[in-house]
Amino acid sequence: MASVKRKSIESQQEDHPLPPPQKQLREDNSNNNSRSSKIIGHGEAVACLHDVSYPGNYVPPFSSITQTQKDSKPAKEFPFTLDPFQSEAISCLDSGQSVMVSAHTSAGKTVVALYAIAMSLKNQQRVVYTSPIKALSNQKFREFKEEFSDVGLMTGDVTIDPNASCLVMTTEIWRSMQYKGSETTREVAWIIFDEVHYMRDRERGVVWEESILMAPKNARFVFLSATVPNAKEFADWVAKVHQQPCHIVYTDYRPTPLQHYIFPSGGEGLYLVVDEKAKFREDSFQKAVNALVPKVEGEKKRENGKWQKGLNVSRLGEESDIFKMVKMIIRRQYDPVILFSFSKRECEFLAMQMAKMDLNQDDEKANIETIFWSAMDMLSDDDKKLPQVSNMLPLLKRGIGVHHSGLLPILKEVIEILFQEGLIKCLFATETFSIGLNMPAKTVVFTNVRKFDGDKFRWLSSGEYIQMSGRAGRRGIDDRGVCILMVDEKLEPSTAKMMLKGSADSLNSAFHLSYNMLLNQMRCEDGDLENLLRNSFFQFQADRALPDLEKQAKVLEEERNSMVIEEEENLKNYYDLIQQYKSLKKDVRDIVYSPKHCLSYLQSGRLVCIQCTESDDKSPSFLIEDLVTWGVIVNFDRVKGVSDVDVDDAIRKPENANYTVDVLTRCVVTKDGVAKKKIKVVPLTEHGEPLIVSIPIDQINILSSARLYMSKDLLPLEVRENTLKQVSEFLSRKPSGLPMDPEGDMNIQSSSYKKAVRRIEALEHLFEKHEIAKSPLIKEKLKVLHTKQELTARIKLIRKSMRSSTALAFKDELKARKRVLRRLGYITSDDVVELKGKVACEISSADELTLTELMFNGVLKDIKVEEMVSLLSCFVWQEKLQDAAKPREELDLLFTQLQDTARRVAKIQLECKVQIDVENFVSSFRPDIMEAVYAWAKGSKFYEIMEITKVFEGSLIRAIRRLEEVLQQLIEAAKSIGETELEAKFEEAVSKIKRDIVFAASLYL
Amino acid sequence: MRGIEISLNQTQKIRLQRALKQLESLYLRANFNASVTVADTIPVSNEDTILKGHGTSERDGEVVATLCGVVERVNKLVYVRTLRARYKPEIGDIIVGRVVEVAQKRWKLEINFSQDAVLMLSSMNLPDGIQRRRTALDELNMRSIFEENDVVCGEVRNFQNDGGIQLQARSQKYGKLEKGQLLTIPPYLVKRQKHHFHHLEHYGVDLILGCNGFIWVGELVEARDCIEEDQLNNTEQQFTKSNTTKEMPLETRRSICQIANAIRVLSILGFNVTLEVILETIDLSRTLNLGIDEMLGPEFHVLVAEREAERRTSMTKRKG
C-alpha cells in the first residue's frame, strides 16, 4: 500500500515516496501547501495532517482529472474562512474520493458533511447521513433541513420524507436497509458516517463495520470521527475493502485553546495545571494536591472507601464544594458552565444543592417560561403535571439545568434549546451530553475523576477527558475554554498527566457475531460470511499486528541466543533444583505459618525471622538461603477484606482471614517523589532506623521460641533502638535463634507437611553433590540463566498469540454458532435458511433466538395483548433495578416461561461450544418494568405508571419506544410464516402502546 | 408413472416402473400419513395453542387444510407444504423472468406466479455503475436496459400490499440474460439452496436455477464487479457491445444444449433439479457417448431413472 504523506507545516521539498497517481496529486499538493502555509504565516499554528491510503495495485482513473476541472465551482460556499483541515477535506471531496476527518468535537467537522451533501444534491445523487443516536439524528435533520430543503429522516421512531435526496438516519437503520436491498442503496453516492469512533462500542460497534463492509461498491464515504491516533489504520482498511483511495485529514486543533485547572476538594481556589500552550505545570499541580483537605478520620471510616466524595453533604452551615465552585465560576464570569458527573442520580443531587442560587434576570425568567410552556404544549394536561415536568421549571428559571438520559425526551430537548439560547448558565449533565450537536460552554467541570465502568471505579481515560473537555470554549466568543477537575484524593502527577494530556483512545474493532447477522448473510445469495469476517476491521487489525509480533519474537530470540553460558546443561539442572527447593520451602512455610497454626504464637515480644525486602525486584536471589533478618513481634491484626462483611462469621473461621503482623525491625526509608514512602527491611547489622512495619503473615520465615520483655511504649526512638540491641545480643549467643519445632512445639501433624520436609532433606543432599555449586561465579551465572528462562517464556507467549491471529478470527465461533442454528432448526445442513431462520432474520432489536423460540412455542399466541406487550418488555429493559417489586402472578408466570426458554437456548449454545454464561444470559432478561408496561398497554396515564415503577421517566420511554420497534419486526415475522391472527395481534399491540407522551414528537422535527 | 409421456418399448417400461417404484418406496418410508388434501382436518392436540401457518385455516374449532400437500410442524407452528403447486415466492429467492411490459419506472416480469413481478428502475444498478438518483432521461431510456421479451434474473425483495412481489438486482451479476436457453420446469423441482447461480467454467456455461422453475442455461459471462470497468467511458461501452455480438463457439453451444437436455430429462422424470444431479446426468450421457439429441430418447430416460434409484437407495442405506 503506497502512501503519500504531507504535513502542512512542513515545506514542499518533502520527498514523495512514489505516489501512484502522480500528476494529479502533485498538482493538488502544491496548491494545498501554499494555502496552509499562508495561514501559518498569520501566526496561527493550525496544523493538520493529510494522508492518503491507496488500495493495493491501485490505478488512478483518468476521468478524475477532468472531473476536478469540471467542478471548478465549489458546490457550497461558506460565509467564513475555512480552517485548513476543512478545506483540505473538501478538496478531497471535490476530487470525488473518500475522506476520513478526525478532529475534536468543536473543530467544525459538520462543514465537511454539509459540503458533501451540497455536492451530492448538485449532482442529483443521494446522500445518506448516519449518526449513532436517534436524538442526534433529529438534531441533524433539523440543521440540514434549514440548509437544504430536500432532506428526509428515518429513525426507529419516525420517518419523514423517505424519498428525499438527503437521508438522515441511525446506523442501525442503514444497515437493515442494506440487508433488505433498499432502493436507496443503489442511488447513494456519498455515505456520511458521523461519530464513526462509535465503532469501538462493545455492543453496537459491529453495526458500523457491517454497514461499511456492505456499502455499495461505487459509493464514497465521509467519516467524521473524534481524534483517534490510528486514523490511518482505519483508512487503510476502508481502502482495502472498497478498493478505492481514502484520505485522512487529522487535526488536533482546537479553535479555542483550553486551560486546565484543578480544584482540590475542601480547598478554596483553582490551580492552573495545564495552560493554553499545553504545558504541564508541575509546581502548581503540587500546590493543588497539597491544598487537598484530608477528610476527618471519622468520616473516612464511615464512608469506608466509598467513592461518593463528591456527594459530600455539606456539614451544618458549610457550603458544599459544588456550591462554592459554581459561585466562584459565576463570580469570575466563567459561565455558562457544564458540570459533568457520571450518574443520573448524582447529576440530580448536585443540581439540588444549587437550590439557593439564582443566576437569571427577570426578563430571562419570563423568556424561559414562554419557551418551556410552548414546548410542553403538545403534552396532555395530565402529563404536564408529571413531577419531573413541574419540578424542572423552577430550577430552569434560576438558570440551572439538568441533562441526562433519564429525563423525558421532550424535557431534554427543551433544556438543550434553552442552553443554546444562553438561558441556562449552569448545566449538570452526564457523559451523553458530550457527543453530538455543538453545544459548547465557556467552562467544563468534572465533578469526579473516577468513573464506574461496570465493576470498579477507575480513573477517567484520556479519551473520555478529551471528548468531554471538547465542550469547553465557544468559538468566536471565548478566547479560551476552561476545564476544571475537582479532585478529592491524592493524585500522582503521572496519573494527572495521563488524563489531561494523554492521547485519544484509538479506534479498535469491537466486531462480534450475532445470529441475526449470520442469518441475514446466509439468506442472500451474495452473502459470504467468511468473506465478511476476512474483511472485517478486526481481522485487518489482527493481520497488521502480526509483523510486529514477529519482529518482537525475532528480537527476543536473538537476545536469547546471544547469551552463552558454560556448562549450561549442568547449570540448568542446578537451577531447577533450586527452584524446586524454594517452592518446597514455601510449601512448608505456608503450612506451618498459616494463621490456623501460628496465630496463638504471635504474642508481642516473640522473636521472629523475616525476609528482607528484595533489593532489586527484577532478579530474585539464587542462593539457597534467602536474605533474612530478625525482629520482634509487636502485634498482629486481621486485614479487613472487602468480602467479609459479616463479622461474626469471620471470627468463627480465623484461618480463612488474612493477617498482618507488626514487627519491630531495622528498616531503611527512602522517599520516592513526594507522596509515597518506600520502606525497606534490611538486616540488623546494616544502617537504618528501628521501625515497626506491617508484614503479611506469609513473610515470616521462622518463629523463635524465645520472647523478649518489651516496653509498652515504643514511641521513643531509644526504646526501639534498645529492643533491637537486645535482639542482636540474643542472636550472637544463639545464632540459630532457637526456632520453634513445628512438630514438637507447634503440634503440626499434617501428612503433607511431613512429606514436604522429607523431600527438602533429599534435595539438600543433592545440593551437596552438585559440583557446579562450588563454582565461584555461580550467582552471576544463575542470574543469566534466569533471564534466559524468562525470555523463553515470553517468546512462547508471543508465538501463541501469533498463531491465534493468523487463523481467521471468529472462525471457531462461526462454526459453533452455525451449529446452534442447525440444532434449533433455523438452517439446514447446507446452510439454507429455514422458516424459523426467516423469522429470526426480522428481529434485530431483541434477542432473536429467544424471541423466535418463544413465538414458535405458541407463548405469544394464547395470552392477552397487554400480557404479551408486558412480556416483550423484558427483552428491551436492560437496566438493573435493585429493589424492583415482583410482577403479579400471571405476569410472573409468563416471565418464568421466558426464562425457561432463554435457559434452553443458552444451554444449547453452550453445548454447541458457543462461549456463554447460561445464568448471566437468563438474568439479562429483566422483569422490572413488566407491570408498568402492562398498565401502559391497558391505557393508563403516564403519571400513573410512573407511580408503579421507580425508574427514570426517560429510561421507561426509551424502553417502550424500543418495544414498538420489536413489535414492528414481529409483524414482519408473523407475515412471513403466514400466521395472520398473530400478525393482527401485534398490530393491535402497537396501536395500544403508541400514544401520548411516550411517542411525543421531537421538538427538532 | 403418471404424467410421464414418453414412448417406451415394453422392457423399457418395466425397467422404468421398477426404478420409480423403488424411489417411491424410499419416499413412502419418510412421511406418508402427513399428506392432506383441501378440507382435510389436521390433527392437533387441543391443550396446546398452535400457530396456524400457510395453507391452514380454522373451521368450527378444527384446523383445516386449505392446500394439498404435506403437513409440516415446527414447534407449535403447523403449516402445509405443497407438493405440486404454482410458484410461491419467498424473500431472497433467486428467480428468472421474462419482461412482459415496460411501464413507468418499472418493468413487469412474467415469473410463473399468480401476478407479474415488478422490477423498479431504481432497484437496478445503472449500466454505467454510477450511484445517482434516476432521472426522467433514465426513464425514457429504460428500453435500452431491458425490452419486452428480454430474460432477466433478479432476487425477490419484498411483497407489495396487493401480494405482488418486487424484485431487485443486487449486483452486476443480476440483470439481462443473453445467448442461451430458457427452460420452464415445474417450480417444485427446484429446491432452495445456498447458491442458485452456477458458473460452470469447465463447460463455459452459466446456469441459473430460478426458484420459480425458470432455468437459464447460457454462455459464461465474466462477473463484472470491477469498479474501474463500471466507470467506463463511451468508447469502452461500445467495445463491450461489440463484444456481445461476437459468435459463440460451437463447443459452448453444444454444452448449453447438453445441460438443457439433461434438465429436460430430469424434469420429465419429476426429479429434483440440482447442480449435482445435472452434472451426473451429463456425465452419464458422456460416458455412454450419446449425442445431444439422443439424450431425449426413451432409453436415456430409463437409464437416468435407474441411476437415480440406485443413488438414493445407497444414500438411505448409508444413512440407515
Residue A999 has pLDDT above 50, yes or no: yes
Q: Do domains B32-82 and B84-177 have the same CATH topology?
A: yes
Nearest CA in chain A to B227: A218
Q: What is the mean pLDDT of residues A678-706?
A: 70
Residue A54 pLDDT? 82
Question: Quick one: pLDDT band at residue A319, thresholds 50, 70, 90?
Answer: low
Q: Out of A381-395, A862-876, A982-996, B3-17, which region has the weakest mean confidence (pLDDT)?
A: B3-17
Residue A816 near residue A912, CB atoms below 8 Å: yes
> Under DSSP, is residue A636 helix (H, G, I), strand (E, B) or coil?
strand
C-alpha distances in Å from residue A788, one per residue of A275, A556, A793: 47, 10, 9
String of DSSP letters for B143-175: HHH--TT-EEEEEEEEE-TTS-EEEE--STTSE
3-state SS, residue A166: strand
pLDDT at res. A614:
52
What's the predicted TM-score (pTM) here?
0.76
Find out whether A358 and A398 touch, Cβ atoms under 8 Å: yes
Residue B133: pLDDT band with limits 50, 70, 90: confident
- Using DSSP bridges, classify how beta strands B117-120 and B165-168 pair: parallel, antiparallel or unpaired: parallel
Give residue A786's pLDDT: 78
Locate the domains of chain B by residue range. Answer: 1-31+179-320, 32-82, 84-177
| Closest residue by Cα to residue A175 from A195, A191, A159 | A191
> By percentage, how much of chain B surpasses pLDDT 70?
86
- Asked if pLDDT for residue B297 goes beyond 60, the answer is yes
CB contact under 8 A, B133 and A524: no
CA dist A256 → A203, A470, A498, A570 (Å): 34, 10, 22, 68
Compute the mean pLDDT over every residue in chain B, rounded to the nearest whole number. Answer: 79
Q: How far is B318 from chain A (nearest CA, A)?
A: 17
**CA separation for the pair A613, B270 (Å, rounded):** 87
Task: Tell me if A805 sits within 8 A of A545, measured CB to CB.
Answer: yes
In whole angstroms, give the CA distance from residue A310 to residue A316: 17
- Going by pLDDT thresholds of 50, 70 and 90, the confidence category of residue B28 is low
Instruction: Indicate the range of A102-106, A443-447, A850-854 predicted with least confidence.
Output: A102-106
Topology (CATH) of B32-82: OB fold (Dihydrolipoamide Acetyltransferase, E2P) (2.40.50)
- How confident is the model at residue A18, as a pLDDT? 36
Q: What is the pLDDT of residue A129?
A: 92
Which of A290-294, A492-496, A704-708, A937-941 has the least mean pLDDT? A290-294
Nearest residue to A932 via CA among A976, A993, A984, A974: A993
Residues of B in contact with A982 (CB under 8 A): 51
Which residues from A are below 8 Å from B227, CB to CB?
Answer: 217-218, 243-244
Q: What residue type is assigned to position A642 of the chain? A: V
pLDDT tens digits, one per residue of A48-93: 788 888 877 666 665 444 444 445 677 788 888 888 888 888 888 8
Q: Tell me the torsion sign for CA atoms A406, A408, A410, A414.
A: negative
Taking 80 as the threshold, does the pLDDT of residue A601 lie above it? Answer: no
> Residue A199: which of A211, A215, A214 has the closest Cα?
A211
pLDDT greater at residue A274 or residue A597: A274
Size of interface A-B (CB pairs under 8 A): 126
Q: Decide: residue A65, CB within 10 A, 0-12 exposed, 13-18 middle, 19+ buried.
A: middle
Residue with cell 399428506: B35
Cell 461498491 belongs to which residue? A217
Instruction: Tell me the C-alpha distance between A892 and A884, whole Å.
Output: 13
Taking CB atoms and an 8 Å cutoff, what residues of chain B touch A830? 193-194
Residue corresponding to grid cell 430552569: A396
* Mean pLDDT for all residues in chain A: 76
Q: Express each pLDDT in B219-277 by its tens digit.
A: 887 655 443 344 444 444 444 444 455 677 888 888 888 888 888 888 888 888 888 88
Q: What is the pLDDT of residue A882?
A: 67
Each residue of B180-233: pLDDT tens digit?
A: 888 888 888 888 888 888 888 888 888 888 888 899 988 887 655 443 344 444
Q: How far does B230 lie from chain A, in Å, by closest CA? A: 9
Neighbours of B200 (CB within 10 A): 17
Q: CA B86, CA A970: separation in Å to the nearest integer?
A: 28
Q: How far is B303 from chain A (nearest CA, A)?
A: 28
- pLDDT exceeds cutoff 70 at A875: yes
What pLDDT shows up at residue A331?
83
pLDDT confidence of A753, banded at 50, 70, 90? confident
- Using CB atoms within 10 A of its CB, is residue A443 exposed (0-12), middle (13-18) or buried (19+)? buried
Contact criterion met (CB below 8 Å) for A850 and B68? no
- Give mean pLDDT, residues A506-529: 82
pLDDT for the residue B246 = 64
For A330-378, the pLDDT digits (tens) are 888 887 888 888 888 888 888 888 777 777 888 888 888 888 888 888 8
Average pLDDT over residues A889-895: 83
Interface test with B, best of A62, A183, A521 (most B CBs within 10 A): A183
* Confidence band of B27 (pLDDT split at 50, 70, 90): low
Question: What are A117-158's pLDDT values in tens digits?
Answer: 988 888 888 899 998 888 888 888 888 888 888 889 988 778
Q: What SS3 state is found at A498?
A: helix
Is the pLDDT reported for residue A310 higher than 50?
no
- Side-chain-side CA neighbours of B131 within 13 Å: the count stands at 25
Q: Which fold has domain B84-177?
A: OB fold (Dihydrolipoamide Acetyltransferase, E2P) (2.40.50)
**pLDDT at B241 (0 to 100):** 43
Q: Between A181, A217, A857, which is nearest B157 by CB? A: A181
User: Among the listed ranges A496-505, A687-696, B274-283, B289-298, which one has the minimum average pLDDT value?
Assistant: A687-696
Q: Would you call A861 and B92 a contact, using CB atoms and an 8 Å cutoff?
A: no
What's the Rg (C-alpha) of chain B? 23
> A337 in helix, strand or coil?
strand
Taking only the tens place, the pLDDT of each residue in A188-238 is 888 999 888 888 888 888 889 888 988 888 888 999 888 888 888 888 888
**Per-residue pLDDT at A645:** 37
Whether A829 has a pLDDT exceeding 60, the answer reads yes
Tell me what pLDDT residue A41 has: 32
